Amino acid sequence: MTGGLGCGGGGGGMWGGLGRGGGGGGMCVGVWSGWEVEEEEEKKEYIGMSRSLEAYKYFIAGWVSELLIADIKQGNGSTSCIITAKVRHSQSLNEEALRPWFAMEKEGPIIAAHCSCVAGLGEACSHVAATMFAVESGANWTKKESCTSQPCGWVLPSCSSFKSAPLAKIDFTSPATKYKNFDKQELHPSSCATPRTKKQLVSMEARQKFLETLKNSGIKSASLSLIPGCNENFIPEGSFLPKPLSTLFSKDHTSLTRTDILQVAWQVYNTTCISQQQVDLIEKSSRKQTKSRIWWQQRAGRVTASMLKKVLHTSPTNPAPSLIRAVCYPQDVMFKTPATRWGCEHEKDAVKAYIQDQKHHTQLTIAEGSFTVDLQNPFFGASTDVRVQCSCCNHRVILEKEAWCYCRKGEEGDMVLCSNKEFKVRLFHHKCTRLTKVPKRKWLCKICSAKKRSLI
C-alpha cells in the first residue's frame, strides 16, 4: 500500500513507530552515524552535529517535497516500508527534481538507500539524508498537541517554483533560526524573527544639514553627485565655457547673398556676449596653449593680435581666402619650421633669463600665459606667453620672440638657423645671408664664422 505521509494527531497515521528515541528503537539519523547514543549529553551533542550537515539545510530550506510511503510485509512477520520523495537541486533550481528513496524497518533500522544523483549510486548522499530529516520531523509532530487544541500551524511549504524578487522581499533567515521557529509552530517562517521596532525618519532639516556638512568637508563624496544643490563640485568646468564660434556655421548660409550674410553677421554680433566668469575660465583652461584643446577651440573665429593687421588691410568686399582660413581654422594652417621648433624648445630659457634680468623688482611673480578674450568685444582675443606682476609696477605681459637676422625684421620668407647655440641671433633670412638654397649640414652665420676663424 502506498500513501502520503500525514501528520495528524491520535495514532499518528503513517508516522507511527518512526520516531527518534523511546520505544521506536532509534532514528534514521543513525544511517550515516553508525553508532547509538545512550547518554543524554552525548545525544544533545550528536543532534547539534547532525543539524550542521548539508542534508539538514536542504530540509530546512524546503527542498524536500512529495513524501510517499509503501508498506512491505516480510515472511518473518516484520513490517518494512519504502519512503520516497522529491528533492530539488540547491544550485540548479530549474532542473528536474531528484528522486531519493530508502527502505527501513518500522522499528528504525535502515535497510537500503538510493538516489538518482551521482553520489546516490553509493547509497549515501545528502538528498537521502534530507528525506530522512523530513520523516523525522513528521514523526515528531505526532507527539505534539492536535491542531484542534491550539492555533493552526503548518509545516514549511515545499518550493515548487522560483521567481526573482527584490532583495528587500527575500527572506535571509538562517536555517538554524528557521528550525527554532519551526519547532515553535509559528504561522509564517519568514516572520518568525523578532519584529523590528519602527525607526523614526530623519527630518528634512537634519538631512539638509548633514549634506551641507558633507559638502563643506573638502572631500568629494560620490553620493553628492546625484543630489541637486550639492553637486556643483562634480560639474566639469568645461560645461561653463562659451560655445566655440565655429558652431555658428550653417550650410543654409552658403546660398545667401552678401547683403543677407552681413545682416546675419550683424545679428550674431549684437546677440553674442560673454561673462567675466567665462573669460576667466578660458584663460585658466588654455594655459598650455598649443597643447590645450580649448586654446584651439576658442581661437577659432576670433581675430587674434597676430592677425589684426592682416584683417585691417584686407579687402572687406573680397577678403583673402588664406586669411579667412587662418582665422576660422587656425589649427589647420599651423606650420612648423626649424626656427619655430627651436623657439618652442627654448621658451623656458627665455623666461629664466627675463626673471634673472628683472629680479630687482619687488615681489615679482611670473604666471604662465594663456588665451584672453575681450569682455566687451568677444570676437577679439590675444595669446600671451608670460604674465608679469610686481608691487612696484603695473601688470604687463610678455610675448616671446626670437631675434631675427641682421636686418632685425620679422620672420618672413625662407630662413636659416645658425648652429651656434650661444649666439643670441639664431635666425637669418636667405636674402640677407645670400644663400640660394637651404644648407644640408650645420651652418654658421658670418659673425660666428669669423669668431671660429679667429680662434684657429
360-376 pLDDT per residue, tens: 777 777 777 788 888 88
Q: What is the mean pLDDT of residues 97-103?
A: 89
CATH C-level class of 415-455: alpha beta
pLDDT (0 to 100) of residue 422: 63
- Name which residue leads in pLDDT, 19 or 180: 180
Highest mean pLDDT among 32-36, 42-46, 116-120, 349-353 belongs to 116-120
Yes or no: say if 372 and 451 are a contact pair by the CB < 8 Å rule. Answer: no
Cβ-contact 114, 100 below 8 angstroms: yes
Report residue 226's pLDDT band, with 50, 70 and 90 as the boundaries: confident
As a whole number, mean pLDDT of residues 74-88 equals 81
Place 45 in a pLDDT band, splitting at 50, 70 and 90.
low
Beta strands in 88-172 (DSSP E): 101-105, 110-114
What pLDDT score was predicted for residue 138? 79
Residues of the chain with CATH 3.30.40: 415-455
Tell me how far apart the alpha carbons of residues 328 and 324 are, in angstroms, rounded to a whole number.
6
Which top CATH class is 245-398?
alpha beta
Split at pLDDT 50, 70, 90, the class of 245 is: confident
Q: Are 30 and 36 in contact (CB under 8 A)?
A: yes
Average pLDDT in the 85-100 region?
83
Of 20-29, 183-192, 212-221, 327-336, the one with minimum mean pLDDT is 20-29
pLDDT given at position 421: 65
How many other C-beta atoms are found inside a 10 Å radius of the C-beta of residue 428? 22
Task: Collect all residues with Cβ–Cβ distance below 8 Å to 174 and sequence separation of at least 6.
Answer: none
The better pLDDT of the pair 1, 329 is held by 329
List every span in the chain annotated with CATH 3.90.320: 245-398
Does 244 score more than 60 pLDDT? yes
- Average pLDDT score over residue span 404-408: 60
Give 18 or 204, the one with higher predicted confidence: 204
DSSP code, position 234: G
Query: Under a CB-based contact definition with an 8 Å cutoff, are residues 248 and 328 in contact?
Result: no
Closest by Cα among 418, 411, 412 to 439: 418
pTM: 0.41
Mean pLDDT score, 271-284:
86
Q: What is the pLDDT of residues 165-186, one digit of tens each?
A: 887 788 888 777 776 776 664 4
328 sits in the region (left: phi over 0; alpha: psi -120 to 50; else beta) called: alpha
126 closest CA partner among 26, 31, 7, 25? 31
In the predicted structure, residue 254 carries a pLDDT above the cut 80: yes
Q: How far apart are alpha carbons 264 and 258 in whole angstroms?
A: 10
- 236 CB neighbour count, 10 Å cutoff: 7
- The whole-number pLDDT of residue 243 equals 86
Residue 296 pLDDT more than 80? yes
4: β partners: 68
Give CB contacts under 8 A, 24+ apart, made by 127-130.
127/55, 127/58, 127/87, 127/98, 127/100, 128/31, 128/55, 128/100, 128/101, 128/102, 129/31, 129/32, 129/53, 129/55, 129/56, 130/55, 130/56, 130/58, 130/59, 130/63, 130/64, 130/87, 130/100
The pLDDT of 1-15, averaged and rounded, is 42
3-state SS assignment for residue 400: coil
pLDDT at 145: 63
Is residue 260 scored above 80 in pLDDT?
Answer: yes
Q: Does 105 have pLDDT greater than 70?
A: yes
Helix (H, G, I), strand (E, B) or coil at 368: strand
Check pLDDT > 70 for residue 454. no
Q: What is the mean pLDDT of residues 132-149?
A: 72
First to last CA, the chain: 126
Find the range with the poorest average confidence among 188-202, 298-312, 413-427.
Answer: 188-202
| Among the listed residues 207, 211, 180, 208, the one whose alpha carbon sits nearest the alpha carbon of residue 194 | 180
pLDDT for the residue 427: 72
Q: Is the pLDDT of residue 146 over 70?
A: no
**What element of type H or E holds 383?**
strand 380-383
Instruction: For the chain, give the percent of residues with pLDDT over 70.
Output: 69
Q: Residue 2's pLDDT is what?
A: 47
Q: What is the SS3 assignment for 215?
A: helix
pLDDT of residue 195: 60
Say if CB 6 and CB 15 are below 8 A apart: yes
**Confidence bin at 448 (pLDDT 50/70/90):** confident
Backbone phi, then psi, for 83, in 5-degree steps? -115, 130
Instruction: Write down the pLDDT at residue 11.
Output: 36
- Read off the pLDDT of residues 325-371 as tens digits, 9 standing for 90 and up: 888 888 887 766 666 676 677 777 777 777 777 777 777 777 777 88
Residues 85 and 68: beta-carbon distance below 8 Å? yes
What is the model's pLDDT at position 337? Answer: 64
Confidence of residue 158 (pLDDT cuts 50, 70, 90): low
Average model confidence (pLDDT) across the chain: 73
Confidence class for position 399, pLDDT limits 50, 70, 90:
low
Q: How confident is the model at residue 61 (pLDDT cuts 50, 70, 90)?
A: confident
Helix (H, G, I), strand (E, B) or coil at 34: coil
Nearest to 268, CA basis, from 246, 238, 241, 251: 246
Percent of the chain with pLDDT over 90: 0
